[in-house]
Chains A and B, each alone.
Chain A
Amino acid sequence: MRRERAPAIWIFIAMDCTSFGVLFLVFMYERMGQVALFDEASHLLNAPLGFFNACVLITSSWLVAWANIVGREGRFDEARRLMLAGMAVASIFLIVKVIEYYMKLSVGITVKTNAFFLFYYALTGVHLMHYLGGMVILAILAQGPSPYLPAAEAKASYLRWLEGGSLYWHMVDLLWIFIFSILYLIGAR
Chain B
Amino acid sequence: MKNPYRYGRFLAWTGIVMLLGTIVFWGVLGQNIPPYSPALNADEFAAQIRQHQGEIRIGMIVQLAISVMWYTWGVAIWMVMRAIENENGDNDVLSTLQIWGAGFTTIVFIVPCSAWLAVAYRPDVMEPQTLQMVYDFGWMMFDCAYALTTMQILAWGVCVLQDKRETPLYPGWVVWFSMFVVVSFILETFMPLVYDGPFSRSGVVNYFFEFGIFFLMWVFIGIYTLKAIGRLQQEHLAAHASN
Q: Mark A3-40, 1 if CB is under 8 A from B, else 0.
A: 10101111110011001001100100010000000000
In A127-166, which residues have CB < 8 Å from any B CB?
A: 129-130, 133
Is the Cβ of A2 less than 8 Å from the Cβ of B176?
A: no
In the complex, residue of chain B having the shortest beta-carbon distance to the beta carbon of A3? B166
Q: Is B194 a contact of A118 with CB atoms below 8 Å?
A: yes
The answer on a CB contact under 8 Å between A133 and B173 is: no
**CB <8 Å contact, A22 and B173:** no
How many chain A residues sit at the interface, stated as a range, is 20 to 34
Partner pick for A11 among B168, B177, B183, CB 8 A cutoff: B177
Interface string of B153-172 (1 = CB under 8 A from A): 00000000101111110011
A189 at the interface (CB under 8 A from B): no
Are B180 and A2 in touch, CB under 8 angstroms? no
B180 partner, pick from A16, A22, A26, A122, beta carbons under 8 A: A16
The interface residues of chain B lying within 8 Å CB-to-CB of A111 are: 190, 193
For residue A125, CB closer than 8 A to chain B, the reply is yes
With A16-B184, A111-B190, A112-B193 as given contacts, are A122 and B199 in contact (CB-CB < 8 Å)?
A: yes
The contact of A8 among B165, B176, B184, B193, by CB within 8 Å, is B176
Residue of B nearest to A125 (CB): B189
Sorting the interface of chain B by its residue count into under 10, 10 to 19, 20 to 34 or 35 or more gives: 20 to 34
| A5-B161, A111-B193, A118-B197 known; A22-B205 Cβ under 8 A | yes
**Interface check A103, CB cutoff 8 A:** no
Within the complex, which residue of A2, A118, A122 is in contact with B165, where a contact is CB–CB below 8 Å?
Answer: A2
Contact of B168 among A2, A7, A133 (CB under 8 A): A2
Tell me if B186 counts as interface (CB < 8 A to partner A).
Answer: yes
Complex: how many Å from CA A5 to CA B173?
9
Evaluate contact between A8 and B173: CB separation under 8 angstroms.
Answer: yes
Q: How many Å lie between the Cα of A125 and that of B177 in the bound state?
A: 22
B209 contacts chain A at the CB level, 8 A cutoff: yes
Closest to A5 in B: B172
B209 and A12 form a contact (CB under 8 A): no
Contact across chains for A2 and B179 when beta carbons are under 8 A apart: no
**A153 nearest CB neighbor, chain B only:** B164
Asked if B175 is at the interface of the complex by the 8 Å CB criterion, the answer is yes
Q: How far is the CA of A93 from the CA of B176 in the complex (A)?
A: 27
How far is A115 from B173 in the complex, measured between Cα atoms in Å?
35
- Complex CA–CA separation, A37 to B204 (angstroms): 22
What are 29 sample pairs from A and B whose C-beta atoms fall under 8 A apart?
A1-B166, A2-B163, A2-B168, A3-B166, A5-B161, A5-B168, A8-B175, A10-B176, A11-B172, A11-B177, A11-B180, A12-B177, A12-B180, A15-B180, A15-B181, A19-B180, A19-B184, A19-B209, A22-B205, A23-B187, A118-B193, A118-B194, A121-B190, A122-B190, A122-B199, A125-B189, A125-B190, A129-B183, A130-B183
Q: Which residues of B contact A (CB under 8 A)?
A: 161, 163-168, 171-173, 175-177, 179-181, 183-184, 186-187, 189-190, 193-194, 197-199, 204-205, 209, 213
Those 3 A-B pairs whose CB atoms lie nearest each other, nearest first: A8-B172, A12-B176, A11-B176
